[in-house]
Every structure is written in structure tokens, then in C-alpha cells.
Amino acid sequence: MEDIKLIKGNEAVALGAIRGGCDGYFGYPITPQSEVLETLMELRPWETTGMVVLQAESEVASINMVYGGAACGKRVMTSSSSPGVSLMTEGISYLAGAELPCLIVNVQRGGPGLGTIQPSQSDYFQAVKGGGHGDYHMIVLAPASVQEMYDHVFDGFDLAFRYRVPVMMLADGIIGQMMEKVVMTRQRPRWTAEEIAEMSDSWATTGKHSGRERNVATSLELDSQVMEQRNERLQARYRQIEEREVRFEEHGMDDAEYVMVAFGSSARIASETMEMARRDGMKVGLLRPVTLWPFPSKRIAELAAAGVKGILVPELNAGQMVEDVRLAVQGGSDKKIPVWHYGRLGGMVYSPDDIYSELKRRSDECAG
């Protein structure tokens, strides 16, 4: 029989870490994601898989512990919520600069500053445009269900190691706190020291042997010419990621006259808006980016070129992903179609009806 659990999104992250063969979790509690650390502490994976779980003294310490673990070629991760992730951004930039793989989970809450503990999606820019300094990208996954909170841990580690980049799961308080069914997969074993040495010998600090020079995990390079080459190597890898790893889901696109583009919890709310609109005979489609970086720009441009009348972007912020949707439309299509933003701020959440009212208002404007 299938192994199904009814659990919170945050608990799913913890279980995904254990089952996904994670070697170490380093974190510091913050609402609304504290259950990640709590669940790990309760399940005591150090007694079963040997996974290390450590409550660090701060977020800054956590991310630097992640740096250390990642430099050794281990599957390591941390999780936090918005203000805590801000504290980590220096470390994330260093991880990107040193080309180290890791997983960072952000269960977003409303900001700026300490803000509120209620759900928000206002860290989109921080996640996809950098956050830290320097020309870098993380692969950003946007889970929209508790199942994806579990699955994306596996996917996140796979992507991080395939490209040697930090991967972020950008969730929010809704997805973190809600409970849904999760189909659990079988235990994926942690890598052995031999496997790590074989797989990551070219970069991981697994101990020098006579066959190669020392591996050094650093983002520092004082020779600008060499630093430019390192940047070019990173950029080439980012282009490769953009080419291969764009992930999205779409519904009702065959005959759609209006399209909603929404990620994470907003995509769930908007999917009900779509059902309501379709019951009323309005032809509405929904595109849900699963990766926020790389972004499904090509597909959005195709939709614009194919004659969609307008695109509504509901997100729990003041208008962030909508900029990428506009860029996609303007950059990839000769047709000028309107792209509208609809949001709530500071931890307030819209209902499916709220989005529907906005969609009708905008489509009426278009028709009138």
C-alpha cells in the first residue's frame, strides 16, 4: 500500500530531507517555518540515516555551516522565513561564488523588516534577481502543494548538484502551514564517502590525494582577469540552466482568451478562480511557473503571440513577478497585450472571488 501521510508543508520539507538522503540541516527557528527544525529534531534522523540536524546560533551561522558542508560535497540545507533569509543572503552569494550546491527553503512572510508572520510572496525579487551581491542566480522552485514541499527537496538537491548552484524553494506561510496528503517515496540513501569522492573529486574538499592539486572552496579571486573568466563560466552555466530546466504547468490553455500567471499558493487560489470563470463561460487559462528562475518566458511569449487578450498576474506582493511576465511579453511578441497585476500586501491573502472580480473588471475594460 502507498505510504500516505497527512502533514503540514513544513513537516513535508523535513521528511523530504530525511528520505532524500540529506546529510545535514542547519537552521534557526522563525515563524512560519519552525516546524521544519522541530520535526527534524523529533524524528532524530541522526539515529537512522546519520543525517546531522543542528540548531545554529543564528541564520548567519546556519548558512555558513551549509557552506562548509557543501564544500565537502555533502547534501546540505537550511530553511528560514523572510527576515532570516535576508540575514543569509551574504552567505548565499558566497555559495554561488564558490560554485557550491545546496538547498535553501524560504517559507515567506510579509515584510519589509520584521513585518508580519502571515503569508506573503514579497521575496520574489530577492530570490530570482539575486538578493546578495554579484552576478549570480539560484535555481528557484515554487512549491504549490504539500506534496511539492516534499518532492522539491529531492529535485532541489538534484539540480543543485547537476549545476553546482544553490537552489531555493520559495514557499510561503500558506504552503508551510497547511496540511495535505503526501505520498512518501522510498528512502534514498545518503552518499558514501567513496561516492562523494568519485562524483565530486574535481571540486569537493574531500582530502587531497596524489592525483590532483588541493581543492579550495572560495569565492575570492584577486586577479580580475581570472575573476572575469569565473563569472563567464557561471554565466555559461546559467544559460544552460535557462535552456534545460524551465518548468511550468498549465491548465485550460487550449481556448484561453485570458490567462492568469501565478506561482505557489497564489496559483492554488487562482486555479479556483479559473474554475469559477469557466463555469460562467469565460475562457480563462492558468500558467503556473514551477521554476521562477529560470522563468517560462518563452511560453508566455508564445501565448501572447497566439492572441491571448490579456494576462492577469495575481501575487501576494506589490507587483514583482509581473515584471518578468511583462518582459516576456514585450521581448517575445510583436503583439501588445495588457499585463495586469493584482496583489494583497503585508500578510493579507485574497480569495478566489477577489481574483475573479479583478479579472472581470480587467476583461470588461478590455472589451469596453
Binding site for another protein (CB under 8 A): 4, 6, 31-32, 117-118, 173-174, 177-181, 265, 268-269, 271-273, 275, 349-354
The distance of closest approach from Cβ of residue 310 to another protein in the complex, given in angstroms and rounded to an integer, is 22
- Residues whose CB is less than 8 angstroms from the CB of residue 115 and which lie 6 or more positions away in sequence, other chains included: 82, 83, 109, 346, 347
Q: What is the nearest approach in angstroms of another protein to the Cβ of residue 148?
A: 12
What the block records as the C-alpha cell of 355 is 481574483
CB-CB contact of 71 with 99 (8 Å): no
Write down the least CB distance from residue 351 to another protein, Å.
Answer: 4
Nearer to another protein, 265 or 297 (CB): 265
Q: How far is the CB of 361 from another protein (least distance, A)?
A: 18
Kindly state the smallest distance separating residue 84's Cβ from another protein, in Å: 16
The least CB distance from residue 274 to another protein, in Å, is 8
* Nearest-10 Cα torsion for 368, 341, 338, 243: -150
User: Is residue 354 packed enough to be buried (19+ CB in 10 Å), middle (13-18) or exposed (0-12)?
Assistant: middle
Q: What is the DSSP letter of 178?
A: -
What is the rounded distance in angstroms from the CA atom of residue 122 to the CA atom of residue 136? 20
Phi, psi of 332 (to 5 degrees): -120, 0
Task: Cell numbers for 239, please give them.
Answer: 544559460
Q: What is the closest distance, in whole angstroms, from the C-beta atom of residue 291 to another protein in the complex? A: 21
- State how far the Cα of 160 lies from the Cα of 252, in Å rounded to an integer: 32
Beta strands 284-289 and 248-251 are antiparallel
Shortest distance, CB of residue 13 to another protein, whole angstroms? Answer: 16
User: Residue 211's CB: how many other CB atoms inside 10 A?
Assistant: 6
CB nearer to another protein: pick between 2 and 364? 2
Q: Judged by CB, which is closer to another protein: 175, or 304? A: 175
Q: Of 36 and 98, which has the nearer Cβ to another protein?
A: 36
Q: Beta strand 139-141 with 291-293: parallel, antiparallel or unpaired?
A: antiparallel
Closest contact distance (angstroms) between CB of 117 and another protein is 5
Task: Tell me the Cα Rg of the chain.
Answer: 21
Residue 117 or 227: the one with the smaller Cβ distance to another protein is 117
**Nearest distance from residue 172's CB to another protein, in Å?**
12
User: Cβ closer to another protein: 64 or 81?
Assistant: 81
Distance CA 220, CA 291 (A): 29
Find, among 349, 353, 358, the residue nearest to 178 by Cα.
349
Report the C-alpha dihedral over residues 185, 167, 40, 57, rounded to 10 degrees. Answer: 170
Single out the residue of 179, 172, 150, 166 nearest to residue 18, CA to CA.
Answer: 150
Three-class SS state of 172: strand
Cα distance between residue 272 and residue 1, in whole Å: 31
